Amino acid sequence: MPDLQSAAPKGGNTMTKLDLTRRSLMGILAGGAALPAGARAQSEETAAFTHGVASGDPQADRVILWTRAVPPSGGATAVRWEVARDAEMANVVRRGAAETGPGRDFCVKIDVDGLSPGQTYFYRFRAGDNVSPVGRTRTLPGADAAQAKLAAVSCSNFPAGYFNVYRVVAERDDLDAVVHLGDYIYEYAAGGYATEWGMENGRGPDPAHEIVSLDDYRTRYAQYRGDADLQAAHAAHPFICVWDDHETANDSWSGGAENHNEGEGGWDARKRAAVQAYMEWMPIREPEAGRAREAIWRSFDFGQAASLVMLETRLTARSAQTSFSEGLTYPEMAFDVSGAEPVMADAGADGPGIERLPALVERTRDGWREITGYRELKRLSERRKLPRNVKRRPDVAAFMAETNAAERELMGAAQLDFVAGEMERSRRAGVAWQALGNQVIMARVRGPRYAQDLPWWYRAMMNRGQGAEANMAFLERSHWELPMNLDAWDGYGAERERLYDAARDAGANLAALTGDTHAFWANDLTDAAGGRRGVEFGVTSVSSPGMYSDYQAPFVDFGKMVEDAAEDVQHMNWKDRGCLILTFTRDGASGEYVRVSTIESRTFNRETYAVWGAEPGGKITRG
């Protein structure tokens, strides 16, 4: 649970020349052609292109190109690159050379400029006698473009299953870009989270231990990028990426992470190593001079259709998450018993005549009744077990005041200023949608009333065996008006209101694109006063298990429980793995919810099982 914690249609629809080019491109992934002898640069070795090619961070006139070239000597080597208008690389429009070596794990990243807006280009690299696979990329459209089409993906866990979702993305030919919303890799050791299937099927994590050092992170990226389906997706489309927590460690924040301890060294050193490996292996443009290296917020314009601002909500400013187990307190009531009849005293009263009893409430047909009488409280508190309809009352107001405290940050002031400025700039330019590439759920999601709504037999099952005590505490908390996930924006209420205020001041039509939860979502975004602020499209995982995978049972519909508990949640599907295909126009934003039939076999079907969308200024509705 979240706080326990036949042939399928493909992207194209006609047999066009582009479709044939796509097929050619997929075939080229298997290898490359030889170059004539003597064509190498002076410092070139015949390096091996070990991990395919990739492109990313497109702008209207430029794009990042990436590859990895490993020479036999293990030293520095020169690599040449070419960009052409055709897959056969006959019409070359840009070329150049770069050097790489062990200091950057043999990765090559080129920021190629001088390109034309809204154009498809092809590219490759050469090192000595070797030539890389040919990749396809695309620049952002011009200012008058009327549509943007994006694929959104998130949470690709190599040991959890095959990357069939990346294959679905690779086989489309109608995308402007792929937006990866984080958890591109996972840090866990063999035997850790979601590794069992992989260890039994030849996809165990490499290295086998939890990754902490720079070499560890590099090795893990190399494993993931060795996957043919991920290579195919990168070779077919430019990626716009941001990390979430697992690129460093689970539930990371600016000063640490849940999955980091003192025995693993200092957090700052681990964070530097993780960021270094990410910058080497991902086709991302590094922050401009004067910014911290982890300050990777940036924006992309898709004509009049949408502006996309990628957020960074983990490493630069995030305050530590609050905790139900540590922060949710259970108050007592004070009584003066020095007189003939006990009377209620001030909460802070103390002394020999003061007796303190736990604050209790009783469930009635009309809701919770607070028990205030001394004798009734005394009688109940002396029982070995409270009646089922009587509970200790947590101080929810105090806990939420701490969680929503003004000083708690998720983005930080510098990033918020940037986002506010980009939203305002976009609206002044007449752009229809201001989309946010966002890691964690932004909508207000109250946790389901598990203790009331789960069948009795399911609650009984939870009260047996290992973890029963934690399960019972979890069920008890679900009686109260508490957020579902404190690692999401619900754990940073004041920061969310600051973002919403900036969006309102800019007149923005917000559309949050969100990953993290291994579930599909269609949400409305509302502020603390209930005012409409936008919509949210949540994408499930590529392969990581659904959030209720360990708790599923016949006739228990967790998705509906979430929808019923949270007014802003219109759709929640934790069972399926897949991607979102998002289309933005001046008239609306639409998401195709695409799922795959399995990730445990390379033979699979894909299906668009739902469409959700919204008009500018409107609520999200099912299409």
**What phi and psi, each to the nearest 5 degrees, are found at residue 84?**
-135, 165
Q: Which residues contact 157 (CB under 8 A, 6 or more apart)?
A: 183, 186, 193, 194, 541, 542, 543, 544, 545
My answer on whether 537 and 496 are in the same domain is yes
Q: Encode 522-574 in three state secondary structure.
A: EEEEECCCCCEEEEEEECCCCCCCCCCHHHCCCCCCHHHHHHHHCCCEEEEEC
DSSP E strands: which ranges in 393-508? 433-438
Residue 192 lies in a domain: no
pLDDT tens readout for residues 412-462: 999 999 999 999 999 999 999 999 999 999 999 999 999 888 988 888 888
Please report whether residue 540 resides in a domain: yes
Considering only CA atoms, which of 40, 98, 49, 97 is closest in space to residue 71?
49
How far is residue 511's CA from residue 527's CA, in Å, rounded to a whole number? 14
Domain boundary among 139, 163, 187: 139
Residue identified by tokens 């509970």 is: 391
What is the predicted pLDDT for the residue at 39? 42
Within-domain flag for 14: yes
Residue 231 in contact with residue 222, Cβ under 8 Å?
A: no
pLDDT > 90? residue 322: yes
As given in the structure block, the two tokens for residue 168 are: 């679905």
What are the strands of the beta sheet with 532-538, ordered from one edge?
Answer: 298-302, 306-310, 433-438, 510-514, 532-538, 520-526, 569-573
Residues 18 and 84 in one domain: yes
- Whether residues 422 and 545 share a domain: the answer is yes
Q: What residue type is 381 in one-letter code?
A: S
Report helix, strand or coil for 512.
Answer: strand
Domain endpoint, select from 139, 169, 188:
139
What would the DSSP string read from start to end of 197-258? HHHHTT---SSSSPP-SHHHHHHHHHHHHT-HHHHHHHHHSEEEE---STTTSTT-BTTB-T
Rounded to 5°, the CA angle 492-494-499 comes to: 95
- Domain limits for position 340: 330-393
Sequence letter at residue 460:
A
Q: Which residues of 414-423 are buried (b: 16+ CB within 10 A; e: fewer)?
A: ebbebbbebb
Instruction: Please name which of 156, 127, 109, 134 lies closest in space to residue 232, comparing C-alpha atoms.
Output: 134
The pLDDT of residue 9 is above 60: no
The answer to whether residues 420 and 515 belong to one domain is yes
Same domain, 409 and 526: yes
Q: Beta-carbon neighbour count of residue 105 at 10 Å?
A: 20
Question: What CATH number should be reported for the domain holding residue 114?
Answer: 2.60.40.380
* 521, 460: one domain: yes
Task: Say how many C-beta atoms besides its own lie within 10 A of residue 597's C-beta.
Answer: 16
In 3-state terms the chain splits into helix, strand, coil percentages (rounded to 5) of: 25, 25, 50
Q: Is the pLDDT of residue 25 over 50?
A: no
| Residue 255 maps to a domain | no
**Do 462 and 367 lie in a common domain?**
no
Boundary of a domain, candidates 120, 139, 158: 139
Largest CA distance in the chain: 106
Is the pLDDT at 475 greater than 80? The verdict is: yes
223, part of any domain: no
pLDDT of residue 321: 98
In a domain, 344, yes or no: yes
Averaged over 554-569, what is the pLDDT? 93
Dihedral of alpha carbons 412, 427, 293, 518, sign? positive
Q: Are strands 48-56 and 238-241 parallel, antiparallel or unpaired?
A: parallel
Share of the chain above pLDDT 70, in %: 93
Angle, CA of 416, 285 and 185, to the nearest 5°? 85
β-strand partners of 537: 513, 522
554 and 498 inside one domain: yes
Predicted pLDDT at 463:
86
**Are 10 and 96 contained in the same domain?**
yes
Q: What is the pLDDT, as a whole number, of residue 187?
A: 98
Q: Which two tokens stand for residue 497?
A: 């209101």
Mean predicted confidence (pLDDT) in 342-371: 91
Residue 372 shares a structural domain with residue 425: no
The pairing of beta strand 343-344 with beta strand 577-585: unpaired
CATH code of the domain containing 514: 3.60.21.70
* Residue-level pLDDT at 287: 95
Q: Which two tokens stand for residue 283?
A: 């086709």
pLDDT tier at 471, thresholds 50, 70, 90: confident
By DSSP bridging, strand 298-302 and strand 306-310 are antiparallel
pLDDT tens, residue by residue, 204-263: 999 999 999 999 999 999 999 999 999 999 999 999 999 999 999 999 999 999 999 999
Specify if 533 maps to a domain: yes
Q: What's the whole-number average pLDDT of the chain?
A: 92
268 within a domain of the structure (yes/no): no
Q: Are 491 and 405 in contact (CB under 8 A)?
A: no
Residue 35 has pLDDT above 70, yes or no: no
- Residue located via tokens 């699979």: 604
Identify the DSSP state of 478: T
Rounded-to-integer distance, Cα 561 and Cα 447, Å: 9
Lowest mean pLDDT among 36-45, 61-70, 564-573, 594-603: 36-45
- Is the confidence at residue 491, as pLDDT, over 60? yes
559 and 480 housed in the same domain: yes
In the chain, the amino acid numbered 36 is: P
Identify the pLDDT of residue 36: 40
Q: How far apart are CA 347 and CA 71, in angstroms?
A: 73
Q: Of the given ranges (11-15, 251-255, 287-291), which has the lowest mean pLDDT? A: 11-15
* Chain centre to alpha carbon of residue 230: 17
**Cβ–Cβ < 8 Å for 333, 372:** yes
Residue 413 and residue 382 share a domain: no
Burial 297-324 (b: 16+ CB within 10 A, else e): bbbbbbbbbbbbbbbbbbbbbbbebbeb
Q: How many domains does the chain have?
A: 3
